[in-house]
Amino acid sequence: MDSKSEPSSPSLPIAVLRRVGTLDAAISLHLYTFFHPILPYPLLKSLELSGDGRIFFPILLSVLLGTIPIESLSLTPIESPTTLLLVNLLIGAVLDLILIGSIKHLLQRPRPVYNKNMFLSFAVDHWSFPSGHSSRVSFIACYCFFYSNQIREVLLMSPLEIGPGSVILEYFVVIMGIWAVITSLSRVLLGRHFVLDVVAGICLGVVEGLIVSRVLNYGNFCSWFP
């Protein structure tokens, strides 16, 4: 008689991924359970809103349009340093939106079961990996690092009366980096994401910053399509 075939065990990569996912979920739950009663919810919610794309994109577009004179809305090259910074920031933000949406749609990792009171803007927001907030704020922080000299020049020329020795001017990049790290961590502590979602989002944001600063920026577009 033929012996009954035993069910095939999952391949090694799949088994490893499952173990990593289980460990990730356990660590994330532990962090959420430990810090949730300690950290005030309004603080975590404020950090969430500070990196929310539904707020970031309208503000960015409004400021960008405000820096472009009406007579310059033709296809003439952009010369304003402020406008150039905002255009490149918008390019990176759109790139981030495309990459995050595509990866979430492909992998479809569910969010933590304890994630409550979250408004979903798009269908892909149901999925957890990677963290869109983490990628966005990490990209912004990296963007500020790569374009720090241009940002300093713009701030010095702004009507805010920021002097060369100003604390904001000297530590602007550091402040943005701290904000990005704290906001990314808050995604786990708020129960929105697992730890690996946040780590992947941070890595993706750093890569996006490199891509925009080296490849996908307004200056290169003008040289490619004169």
Which residues are tagged catalytic? 133, 193
Among 221, 224, 226, residue whose Cα is nearest residue 94: 221
Among 208, 190, 13, residue whose Cα is nearest residue 111: 190
Phi-psi region of 201 (alpha: psi -120 to 50; beta: other; left: phi over 0): alpha
**Greatest Cα pair distance in the chain:** 90
d(CA 174, CA 178): 6
**In this structure, what are the phi and psi dihedrals at residue 110, rounded to the nearest 5 degrees?**
-65, 150
d(CA 18, CA 16): 5
In sequence order, what DSSP letters do the residues of 178-214 get, joined into one string? HHHHHHHHHHHHTTSS-HHHHHHHHHHHHHHHHHHHH
Among 221, 151, 213, 143, residue whose Cα is nearest residue 177: 143
